[in-house]
Amino acid sequence: MHDVEHVLLPVLMILMYLTPILYPLSLVPENLRRLVAINPFNWVVARLRESLLDGRIVLHLSDALALAVAIALFAGGLWVFRRLSPHFEDFV
């Protein structure tokens, strides 16, 4: 479990650098736009940009899908945590 940090930190850093936070996706060069569009952080930033900068708060089907995925990941993480929590005191 301790080795996850060494893999997850660089992956999250790369995803954050590939996320168009300060600029819209339309300013990304066409040959890189597809790569940036599949970034999961891009969806979050685009939805925030729509609601905060454009003033559009419209629920989409993708919002429900994202909520379902988040709940499933939370439930899976909770299950793993509860299953492994008796072993955590060995690492302290």
pLDDT digits (tens, 9 = 90+) for 32-63: 888 888 888 888 888 888 888 878 787 888 88
pLDDT of residue 91: 56
C-alpha angle 78-68-34 in degrees, rounded to nearest 5: 110
pLDDT band at 69; cut points 50, 70, 90: very high
pLDDT band at 75; cut points 50, 70, 90: very high
Angstrom distance (rounded) from CA 66 to CA 43 = 9
